[in-house]
Structure formats: C-alpha cells, structure tokens
Chain A
Amino acid sequence: MNKPVQIKAQEPPVSLYAKREPVFNRRIDGKFRRIKWAIMALCLAVYWITPWLRWDRGPYAPDQAVLIDLAHRRFYMFGIEIWPHEFYFVAGLLIMAGIGLFLVTSAVGRAWCGYACPQTVWTDLFQHVDRLFDGDRNARFRLYKAPWTASKIARRLAKWSVYLAISFATGGAWIFYFADAPTLHQEFWSGTAAPVAYGTVLVLTLTTFVLGGFMREQVCIYMCPWPRIQTAMLDEKSLIVTYKDWRGEKRGSLKKAQKNPEEYGDCIDCNQCVAVCPTGIDIREGAQIGCITCALCIDACDRVMAETGRPRGLIDYATLEDAENEKAGNAPTRHMKLIWRPRTILYFCVWAAIGLGLLFTLGTRVHTGLTVAKDRNPPYILMSDGSVRNAYTLRLRNMQGRPRDMEIAIEGLPGAVMWTEDMAREAAARSLVRKVAADATQGVRVYVVAPAGSTDQSFDFSVQAVGEPGEADSSQAKFDTPGGE
C-alpha cells in the first residue's frame, strides 16, 4: 500500500473488549434439524447406556462392558482388556481419532462441529430449554431486554435449575465409566461414594452448566482450537455450507423482485438464515470461523425458497470449487464424487492402516509377560565355594482372568541354577513354577548362581504358562562375575 495513513490526534477510544451478544436463534424444522435431533439422541443414548452394559469376564474381573479402572490401571472394553504397558492401543485410537477428524474435515468440512461435538450437542439441548421456558426468538429477546421483575427472576431461576439438572444428569454421568455403575449409583445416592466421585460430578456439572448454558458459541469461536486447525484442513474441495451469492444477490424483498425480476436475485433478505443460526452469524457474508456447518440455515432458507416458489439450495452444502463451477453455469458435481479424492483417500488409508495394525496386535498379543530387572548394587556376589551369584527381580504378568501357574526357566548360562527368597537354597533348580493370581503381576526376586569360573555373559529368562504352549515370553539378562570389567 502506497497510500499514507493519516492518524488524527483525537481518536475516539476503542474498547479492546467486546461484550457478548447473546444469540436468540429461532426454532426451525427441516431435514438437517431432524438429522441433528437423531444424532443428539444417539450420542446421549450411547453415552448414558454404555456404562450399564454388562460383560461376563468370570469371577476375577469386573463385569462392566466398558470400564476405565484407574485404581487397578486396567481398561476394559467388551472382550478387550488393556494393561498400562499396552497404552499404545489407547494412543493408537487417539491417533486414529485425530486422523479421522482430518479425514472427515477434508471430505465433509466441519461435520464434527455441526453434529457430533459435545459442545454442539449440549448447546443445542440448552437452546431448546430456552425455547421451552422463554418462547421463541422474539419472546426471548423481549424477556432479555425486560427489567428484572419478580416474574423474570422466577423464570430465569426455573430455567437455570433445569440447566443444572441437565448438566448434572449428562456431565455427571461420566463417573460411571470409572467404577461399577450400579454400585456407584447406589453409593452415590446413599452418600457413601468416594469423595472424588462427588468432586468429579460437581466439576463436570458446573462446567456443563457454564459452557452449555452460557458460553455456547463463545467456546466454538474463542476457546476451541479445532476451528483454527480446521481452517487449515479445508480446501476448495471440502464440503461446507455455502451461500450461493451469484444466485441470491442482489437481495431484495419479494415485492421488489416482482417489479424488477432482472435486477434482484433469489434472496429475499428475510434474514431467516441469520435468525436460526446457533452461533449468530450471517452465512451470506461467506465462509467464516463462526460457522459450525450445522446446516440449520439450509433448512431455513429451503423453507423460504419453497414458499416463494424458487428452487431450494440457495444456501447449501457445496465445495468452493463446485460453487465456482455452478456459478459458471455448469451442472453441479455429485457430492459422493467430491468426497473421494486423493487427499481423503490418503487420509483414509493411513487411518485404516493404523486400525488394522492395532487389530493385528490385539489379535496376536500374548497374555503372559516377563520383565527382568537386575540388581546393580552389588553387581555380583562371590560365594564361599567360589561360585558367583547375581540377583534379579522378575515380574510375571498374568493377563488372563484366572490364576495361572507359570514356569520360569534359565536359558543359557551353563551350570547355573536359581532359587528364591522363600525356598531353601538346596532346592535351587534351572526352572521354577510360580502361581500368579488372576489378572495380576507378581514380583519374584531370584538368585542365580553360576559355577566358579563362569564369565560375564548374557542369558535369557523365559516364562511359560504351564500347559499353554504359545503363552510365553522371555527377557534377556546379564550375568556379572568378578572377572568381568
């Protein structure tokens, strides 16, 4: 820019902070609204019902189908049980979720934001509560402006209690994923649940109350990082909610358009698209960060188009490329064709590869494990007969829901035998059998003694579930001697 900027001495003070403009969105019915109801119902149902599903794992493990057992560090998901050292499963799922978001975003834009994001689901629910208590858009606006009379206060308090009740029932239900749901439910109401349960319910109820009841679109616009990332994920081939300005402009009322059909476009400037928008934006200004692609404005405008006898789709899901295409007078491309393109296929392949990798690992994992830690201080002990002893702490892992006998053996290290603290030294042998409780680990300190003259070397400890070929693991260990360095 070459134009010099003149700054006048007296600038009116501009506030750095903007007051929130509350959104009073109108009720709308239509195809996308119904899809949203269905998805909301599905999400809430899955969320509520999941912890109550049972799954029989035998007497040694909890029978809750999905359980995050923090105290015992186990994660149960139907037939799958994840141990802490298998956290890569969880990491893998999170990576899949991330790539899944990339995939969805590049294919169908911010579908997650518009339909499935908890913030959207709760905002939607709470906006419905608003309508139940205060009426639709105009009535709500009037009430908002009205002075704080006793009746307004009463109505507000009543509405906020319903907010709270919903927050409690939805946010609070999260605790059932962390403990046996029926037991916790009973304990919760009888006042005997753990303090952390009450604390969690309190925190989640309050955050739901504040974020869903009051912050709403502010969360989407200012607090959530995802829209910023998404703007980078979107390209001209992503499906987003678009106002077709070449068709709508110039805006004019029905009357004007009838008088002057050449000059005016299809938009009758009725503002219905703005009135229904849950984030209070005007989609006719173009794609913007505030738009969560909930498609309610499509429902609203389609209805107006039907009433004015014009084709639907003045506001519609479209890609920028397709919008240009249509503008040039060509036929629109089918959406399905748009979704599958190199970029989305690549995302899908990466996503699927990780998924298959996880499934493969899950299918081939062994339920028996062994880790070995060698005593470093002292590294070796010279025994009176000249033999050398090293000590190791073995950890046997029984990832099966029943107690199992496990045989530990020394492989290599000629002439060496081992014994443990709780057996007589004379009974030392090349292999020992230990019983490991169901779904538990057991530490065993073993002494390995090798004949005089042994040298520093590596050998293996192996573990094998008795009577279960294939259920085995091994771990390398080092044997130190006085002769070594």
Chain B
Amino acid sequence: MADKRLDEATNTETVGHEWDGIEELNTPLPRWWLWTFYATIVFAIGYVIAYPALPGISQASEGMLGWSSRGQLDAEMSSAAATRAKAVAGLADLPIEQLPQHPQLMRAAVAGGAAAFKVNCVQCHGAGAAGSKGYPNLNDDDWLWGGDLKTIETTLIHGIRQPGDDATRISLMPNFGSDGLLDAGQINDVAGYVLSLSGKEKKSAATQRGAQIFADNCAVCHGDNAKGNRELGAPNLTDAIWLDGGSKAEVAAQIHHPHHGVMPAWGERLDPVTIKMLAAYVHSLGGGEEFAAPVAAEAPAADAAQETD
C-alpha cells in the first residue's frame, strides 16, 4: 500500500504520488460530471445520425432529418424573394416616370437596383458606378443619351449599339483619320479647338483653324456650339467630362479612329421590374435628371429603430 496519509493543510487524503515534494491529493470528480460527459457522447452520436456528418467518397451521409445546407439556402432564398416581392409590389404596373411620387416604392427600388447593379453592371461601370475610360461614369451629370428615369430605363432595355435590337440607338462617328477624311494636322487643330472650349487649351491660330474644321465636319452631330446632341448620343464637348480621356492625344486619337462603346440590351436578360429598379438606382446616384419636384414633404418613415447603429 502506498504511503497514504492525510495532507496537513487540507485534510485531504493523498494518493501517494509525489514529485519534488509536491503531493497529489485525492480529490475525486463528482460522478455527475462523468455522466454529463457520457451524455455529450450520446448527443454527438445522435447528431451524427440526425444530420449529414459522415464523409463519403462523393457525398456525405444524408442524416435522418433530411436537412442540408443547400436546402436551407433554398428556403432562405425563397423567403428573401417573397420579402422582395412584397416590397416592390406594384412596381411592375407603375410607369417609371411616376416612381418619384411613391417614395416608399422608390426607396425599395433603389435598394433592389443597387443589388442588381452589383450582379450585372459592375463589370463595365465599376462597383461604385464610376466607370472608367470608355465606360461612362453613372454618378456624374453628363449623359450621352439622356438621364431622366424614362430614358435610363430605355437605355437599359435596348442597350446602345446592340446588334439585333431594333430599338437600340446607334451612332457612329466617322473615322476621320484612318479613312483619310482629315489629315493629321487638321486633327491636331480641331482637337485643340475642342479643348479650348472648356478652357483646357489656349486660343491660338491653330484653334482658329480647328474652329473652321469643326464647323465643316463636326457641328452636324455635336452642334454649332459643340454642346452635343442626345438624339445621336453625341457628347457635349464643352464640359469637364471626357469619356475617352481629355488629353490632347486622347482627343486626337478619338477623332482619328473613334471608339464606340456597346451597352448590352438588358431587356432580353432581365425582367422589367429588375430593369426599373436598376434605372431607379442609376438615377439616384446623384446625376439623375428631371426629378419631379421634391417628393411630397411626407416625413420619410423613420427607418425604424431596428437599423440603429
């Protein structure tokens, strides 16, 4: 029998083990502790039986309850769809111009549009809709084809220069350089003139010559005052915004052999409600035009205490 005795300080029996003067006291765990441990094992076995758990070659065991993460996802997706449907009910029948009269619906549409934008539009226009060279920035107030709700919706449905869509809008700027309509010196002059309109280039003899070239070749589309023509998607050349770059070389390159962007016709791929929501979102980015008088003074519904910080 090992050297069993009572520990002086605690009056507890020792088990007889000692290391460097430290003795092990016999302090048994309560038995319910053991049973609790057994219960967790039983629970784990039950869990493995009830839920998918055991890995197989191609698939895990299915579990008795028939639960699967995919099934749960489906359920959540359809409940989200139902919620969305409720929020935008009526959007299908509402002409988009009347949307601002329904602030509640408008808010829901903008929110839905933001989500749809992330799926369909960011590839070209960027996550913040700021575009990039050749791809319009949708936040600014410069619109090639028009920036009111209705026009944005039309652009979304039929696209721009979309082959196969009868209602798509097409405009093609001639290849002034590559087709030999203007020589390099003329192109340089007219580029200088165009830049001088927004103060980016000083007026000079060259811009004088460019003005004449512009009047002869460009004014037909861009207008006598170069303010553009939305019927033709001809950009305003007097403002600060340059779709294809505002340096002289970039402007000259565009005159030499213009780049023509293509916007897909989303009417073939997205349902009308989604398109309306996208239009509302794009319009809401800060450059939207013809926003019918400030929305009724109705106090915006407190976006509820739920979504507090």
Contact = CB atoms under 8 A, between A and B. Distances in A.
B103 interface: yes
B303 A378 contact: no
Contact of B2 (A11, A74, A377, A421): A11
B195 to A, nearest CB: 14
Given A382-B240, A384-B240, A442-B303, A425 B291 contact: yes
Contact of B33 (A8, A17, A435): A17
B306 interface: yes
B66 interface: no
A440 interface: yes
A3 B130 CA distance: 84
A5 B3 contact: yes
B45 interface: no
Contacts of A6: 2-3
29 contacts: A1-B23, A5-B17, A17-B33, A18-B30, A20-B32, A84-B309, A85-B308, A85-B309, A218-B30, A286-B11, A375-B128, A376-B128, A377-B127, A378-B137, A381-B130, A383-B241, A384-B239, A384-B240, A386-B240, A391-B286, A421-B110, A422-B103, A422-B294, A422-B300, A436-B302, A437-B302, A441-B302, A441-B308, A452-B240
Q: Which 5 residue pairs spanning A and B have beta carbons closest together?
A: A437-B302, A377-B128, A378-B130, A384-B239, A440-B302
Given A14-B26, A377-B130, A381-B140, 16 more contacts: A3-B3, A17-B33, A19-B30, A20-B32, A71-B306, A72-B306, A72-B308, A382-B241, A384-B141, A384-B241, A389-B286, A435-B299, A436-B302, A440-B308, A441-B303, A441-B305
Interface of A: 1, 3, 5-8, 11-12, 14-20, 71-74, 83-85, 215, 218, 222, 285-286, 371, 375-378, 381-386, 389, 391, 395, 397, 403, 421-425, 427, 434-443, 447, 452
B284 interface: yes
B293 interface: yes
Contact of A17 (B28, B127, B304, B305): B28
A442 B300 contact: yes
B284 A421 contact: yes
Interface in B181-220: 198
A447 B286 CA distance: 7
Contacts of B33: 17, 222
B140 A403 contact: no
B240 A16 contact: no
Given A14-B15, A384-B240, A441-B303, A20 B295 contact: no
B34 interface: yes
State the main secondary structure of chain A at its contact with B.
loop
B128 A15 contact: no
A260 to B, nearest CB: 27
Given A1-B18, A371-B309, A391-B286, A424 B291 contact: yes
Contact of A222 (B21, B26, B30, B295): B30
A17 B29 contact: yes
B236 interface: yes
B128 A20 contact: no
Interface of B: 1-3, 11, 15-18, 21, 23, 26, 28-34, 103, 106, 110, 126-130, 137, 139-142, 198, 236, 239-241, 284, 286-287, 291, 293-295, 299-309
Contact of B240 (A383, A395, A427, A438): A383
A447 B287 CA distance: 10
Contacts of B295: 422-423
B300 A383 contact: no
A433 B239 CA distance: 32
A396 B33 CA distance: 53
Given A381-B130, A391-B286, A72 B299 contact: no
A447 B1 CA distance: 87
A440 B305 contact: yes
A3 B106 CA distance: 88
Nearest to A395: B309
Contacts of A371: 309
B28 A427 contact: no
Most buried by A among B18, B126, B240, B307: B240
B299 A439 contact: no
Nearest to B22: A1
A442 B30 contact: no
A427 B294 contact: yes
Contact of A424 (B29, B198, B294): B294
Contacts of A72: 305-306, 308
A215 B3 CA distance: 34
A447 B126 CA distance: 19
